[in-house]
Structure 1
Amino acid sequence: MFVLAELKDNVRIAPDHFNLKLVDAVRDEIDRKLANKVLLNVGLCIALKEIVSLKDSIILPGDGASHTEVLFRYVVFRPMVGTVITGKIRSCCREGVNVTLGFFDDILIPHAALQHPSRFDEAEQAWVWEYPLEDGGKHDLFMDVGEPIKFRVSREIFEETSPIGPPKAEGQAAQNASTSAAAAAASAAAQEVKTPYKIIGAINESGLGVLSWWDQQGKEEEQDGEDGEDNTEYDNDDEGEGACEE
């Protein structure tokens, strides 16, 4: 789930940090720049592991800061496809179940990857697994917000995001308002929902899903086993008493 990525960067150290040791200043700057950031096709950066090498620092003309080429290893969150992870349900919608790990929220279990058959309850705003019973009936198992859930990573999605440019001048914006208002609104909406790194999960196999489902099933099976053992011992005692009487 967590991997070590070897990265290279040209780190800029401002003059007001020259009082620190170079290694400490570089470490602080790398963490400030990368911590909790997503690198394209790398993953979510968590923390600096170690600095492998530091090259000579240089000062460029017109810039009082130093620039140092650094090779380092960084702890990155990027689970492999097929990994089973336990998180908590953050919310439910018609698209599926949104899961959080506490430090990472962009996890979606699509409705097609839920236990079958499942339905979305509008009143409760939760997905419900219609668990089939032996008598042909169904028992509703809700996927409530905050419940621990175990899922398998089915795929990952990286999207390149770029900063939004400055607003146009008022005169130019007024001229193009009538022709491009709808396009601008659609573009803004698309940029709002775009996430740089998303994980797609699945729970449509035995043992996956809300943990309480399987805990309850295990308790019921254990209780059934204990009841069966008690009956067996009782029957053996009866047979023994009958033999003695004869």
Structure 2
Amino acid sequence: MFVLAEMKHVIRIPPHDFKKRLNDAISEELNKKLANKVVLNVGLCIALFDITRLEDSYIFPGDGAAHTKVNFRYVVFRPFMEEILIGKIKSCSPEGVQVTLGFFDDIIIPPASLQHPSRFDETEQAWVWIYDTDGDTHDLFMDPGETIRFRVTAESFVETSPVGPENPDVKDAVDATEEPKVPYKLTGSINEPGLGLLSWWANS
């Protein structure tokens, strides 16, 4: 679920931080810049692990800050494919079940990846597994807040950096209805024995 990503960056240390140890000042700047941010094709950055190399610091004309090239390792959230995780149901909709891990909410289990057969209950706003036992069917609801075990089946990264209009002479009106892009999203599945709500399998 968590991996160490090797990165490098040029860090700017402002003059008021010169009184700090260089490693401490750089660590603070790296965490300010990266913690809780998604790096494209890397994952969700959690915290600095260590600094592996510091190059010489330079002060450029017109800028009193020190610029230092740093090689470092960062703790990143990026589950591997087919990894099994445990989270909580955040919400349900006709598009599927949204799962949260507490620190990461962009996980969706689409309808085709739920236990079969399942249906969406509009009244309860919850997905229901229609469980068959020797001809008798039971509705097993997937309610928000329930603990769920799922398999990671896909991931997607989206570039969310702002870009200007293709024609700089044309100022397009911003579409207020456009949903914000999700930089990093996971897709999960529970359509196999042992996956789904933990309560389903507690007594099996």
Same fold (TM over 0.5): yes
Please give the TM-score of this superposition, normalised by the length of structure 1: 0.78
Q: Does 1:66 align with 2:61?
A: no
User: How far apart in 2 are the matches of 1:14 and 1:96?
Assistant: 47
**Over 2 Å off, 4+ runs:** 163-166
Separation in 2 of the partners of 1:149 and 1:210? 4
* Higher percent of residues as helix: 1
* 1-structure distance, mates of 2:20, 2:3: 30
Q: Deviations over 1:60-92 (max 9, x none)?
A: 111111100000000000000000000000000
Larger radius of gyration: 1
Q: Deviations over 1:9-34 (max 9, x none)?
A: 00000111011011100000000000
- Letter of the 2:139 partner, please give it: D
- How far residue 164 of structure 1 moved from its aligned partner, in angstroms, is 6.2
Could you tell me which runs of 5 or more consecutive residues in structure 1 were left unpaired when the two chains were aligned.
167-171, 174-179, 219-246
1:141 and 1:114 map into 2 onto residues whose CA distance is: 12
Distance, in Å, in 2 between the alignment partners of 1:164 and 1:94 is 32
Identity %: 63
CA deviation after TM superposition for structure 1 residue 189, in Å: 3.8
> 2:96: which partner in 1?
96
Amino acid at match of 2:96: G
Q: Which residue of 2 aligns with 1:153?
A: 152
Deviations 1:90-113 (A, max 9, x none): 000000000000010000000110
- Counterpart of 2:56 in 1: which secondary structure? coil
**Separation in structure 2 between the aligned mates of residue 26 and residue 125 of structure 1, nearest angstrom:** 48
Partner secondary structure for residue 103 of structure 1 = coil
The aligned runs of 1:32-47 (5 Å cut-off) are 32-47=32-47
DSSP 3-state at the match of 1:30: helix
Cα root mean square deviation, aligned? 1.6
* Amino acid in structure 2 at the alignment position of 1:157: S
Determine helix, strand or coil for the equivalent of 1:19: coil
Task: Supply the distance in 2 between the matched residues of 1:164 and 1:72 (Cα, whole angstroms).
Answer: 29
Give 1:215's aligned residue. Answer: 202
Alpha-carbon spacing, 1:162–1:189, altered in 2? closer, same or farther (3 Å): farther
- CA distance in 2 between counterparts of 1:162 and 1:2 reads 25
In the TM superposition, what is the alpha-carbon distance from 1:165 to its structure 2 partner?
5.6
